[in-house]
Structure 1
């Protein structure tokens, strides 16, 4: 088990213990199967970014909550089955209620993200080229040098129609 997987496992178990939730209750709150949650807690499974987001949302916490505070190197959350990878640039700050992520999205791919808690906002800042954002009934576009702000308490998708990988900053603002 890696240091990161150990930490994710420990954080999940600690959050469950604090809430007094069984694996069944946790599965209902997160939308992740009881079997998968057990595997993550035992360090037997490397969760996808999407899975980790769902767990964070089920516990009403940030994605960066699952990363070690004292990082000798900045961790990248990635999974071979996903088009998207996430590097935490600024872990969740409770005083300011935000975290800063660097997102990489493979060429000609789309990554679906489920709705966050009510009041969560995201800012997308492309580092190069164009990023598209699919919302329930519209597609929005952000070009390099632009900022796209949207309400993240709805299902959304990051879309890369370019023939190469793109990167963008994602600032996630949580309600206080």
Structure 2
């Protein structure tokens, strides 16, 4: 399940329960079938924009209330259930763990770079700093005028306001986590 569908699933259920509505009552108010609402709440459906429009209209909430990251003290994300945000078969896969939120000035991604694979990233904008840690394999990070080899267990920080490349010249998959921070 991708993070947006997971957000919708959690938020829809929280909104419905907060309004003390059953699935039947919610279906009646929104015009979305009870079975579809149940699938959405379980994270088994990928609702269309039209369906989301019916839900927000019927429940009288803003679309952002369904899409935003749920406010929870703890929030577990299973790697096995994530769908890559970006992927090129045999090259790389990028998964979004925690996307940008206006009240939290960071994002967290997991990456896998396959042997002989390269992932190109453009500038992340002014005042953006990237922190990365390598869990497996040897990552070669190429900046416009520099190249760095980062080994398993090592970490690296750089201003990511310029294009850069994550390269795997080795024979095993490189696994890394990146955190983007936004300077004030």
Q: What TM-score does the superposition give when structure 2 sets the normalisation length? A: 0.54
| Matched ranges for 1:11-160 at <5 A | 69=69, 73-80=81-88, 83-160=91-168
Aligned length: 116
Q: Is the 8 A contact 2:134 2:177 kept in 1?
A: yes
CA positional deviation for 1:96: 3.1
Q: Offset at 1:78?
A: 3.6
- CA offsets 1:46-97 (integer angstroms, 9 cap, x no match): xxxxxxxxxxxxxxxxxxxxx8747894332243467221112223243331
- The corresponding residue for 1:174 is 182
Distance in 1 between the 2:110 and 2:123 partners?
A: 19
Q: If you compute each CA radius of gyration, which structure gives the higher value, 1 or 2?
A: 2
- What is the alpha-carbon distance in structure 1 between the residues aligned to residue 142 and residue 177 of structure 2? 17
Q: TM-score, normalised by structure 1?
A: 0.56
> Does the 8 Å CA contact 1:108/1:164 hold for their aligned counterparts?
no
Structure 2 gaps, min length 5? 6-47, 50-66, 71-76
Unpaired stretches in structure 1, ≥5 consecutive residues: 8-41, 44-66
CA RMSD, Structure 1 to Structure 2 (Å): 2.9
Q: Look up the SS of the partner of 2:165 in the other structure.
A: strand
Larger displacement relative to structure 2 (90-99 or 146-155): 90-99
